């Protein structure tokens, strides 16, 4: 369950933590999810840590490089694309910004980092030897990405044109507006919600990690030095919570129905 060997164009395939204290981040997430780590050297010096769940690659983490000084700790979501140069080449005409790349990541693949018209940042990944996560939708692995945006209309137009996404409003009754995101093959790929005008955060992608027991995970978050910002909350497919790690990176936890 949750094994992956490829990703269609426009499908979320990787998640990566930028943190100023990698040792403490490993302690925190290892204690929370039971992660194992494999630290690897990278071109130009430094290291990159592969996160493993059940022996399979699930995420990555690294400390800021010289060009990332001052960037707040964050989880960066990636979407797989067939041709990163072509995709990145369309970003500006659609109202976004290419922040980095495209460039090769050794023999693993080719990537770029972009910003949508409302300011949310997303990675693009063209696989070579590395497809991204080889396991998802299990305890401690990525299960969903949610766009919290100040401009849902602009974001919908941008990503639909750029990645072939199908974005549709859901019936939330008396709840706040919410949109589902399906990839070009019609598979559920994520979600989108309106960021209130008085929100303290800019538009951003929020990564959700699956957990077997949400109450235990939120309790453990505090014990390990993190903070639960949104307590366990029921939704039709299960329950979720939003938290912040000791270095300040935000993430979400989900217990409930998981795709295979």
pLDDT tens digits, one per residue of 93-107 = 999 999 998 999 989
- Specify the pLDDT at position 192: 96
- What is the reported pLDDT for 66? 75
Name the nearest CA neighbour of 32 among 40, 44, 20, 24. 24
Choice between 84 and 47, residue whose per-residue pLDDT is larger? 84
CA dihedral angle for residue 177, residue 183, residue 188, residue 193, rounded to 10 degrees: -20
pLDDT at 190: 92
Domains of the chain: 11-127 (3.10.180.10), 142-256 (3.10.180.10)
For 136-153, what is each residue's pLDDT tens digit? 999 999 999 999 999 999
CB 134 within 8 A of CB 60: no
> What tokens appear for 33 in the block?
């999810």
pLDDT 10s digits, 158-207 = 999 999 999 999 988 888 889 999 987 878 879 999 987 777 778 999 99
Q: What is the mean pLDDT of residues 231-250?
A: 95
Question: What is the pLDDT at residue 1?
Answer: 61
pLDDT at 65: 81
Cα distances from 163 to residues 10, 32, 33, 251, in angstroms, run: 5, 33, 31, 24
Token readout for 176 is 């706040």
């Amino acid at each position: 369950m949750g094994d992956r060997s490829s990703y269609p164009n426009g499908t979320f395939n990787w998640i990566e933590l930028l943190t100023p204290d990698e040792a403490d981040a490993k302690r925190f997430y290892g204690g929370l999810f039971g992660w194992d780590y494999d630290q690897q050297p990278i071109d130009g010096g430094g290291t990159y840590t592969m996160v493993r769940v059940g022996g399979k690659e699930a995420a990555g983490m690294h400390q800021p490089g010289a060009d990332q000084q001052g960037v707040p700790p964050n989880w960066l979501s990636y979407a797989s694309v067939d041709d990163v140069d072509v995709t990145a080449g369309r970003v500006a005409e659609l109202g976004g910004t290419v922040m980095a790349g495209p460039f090769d990541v050794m023999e693993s693949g080719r990537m770029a980092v972009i910003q949508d018209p409302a300011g949310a940042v997303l990675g693009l990944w063209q696989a070579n030897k590395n497809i991204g996560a080889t396991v998802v939708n299990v305890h401690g692995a990525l299960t969903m990405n949610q766009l919290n945006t100040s401009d849902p209309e602009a974001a919908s137009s941008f990503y639909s044109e750029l990645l072939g996404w199908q974005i549709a409003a859901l019936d939330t009754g008396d709840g706040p507006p919410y949109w589902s995101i399906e990839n070009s093959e019609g598979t559920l790929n994520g979600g989108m919600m309106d960021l209130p005008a008085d929100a303290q955060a800019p538009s951003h992608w929020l990564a959700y990690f699956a957990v077997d027991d949400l109450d235990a995970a939120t309790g453990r978050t505090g014990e390990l030095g993190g903070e639960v910002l949104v307590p366990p909350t029921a939704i039709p497919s299960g329950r979720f919570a939003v938290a912040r790690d000791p270095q300040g990176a935000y993430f979400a936890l989900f217990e409930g129905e998981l795709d295979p």
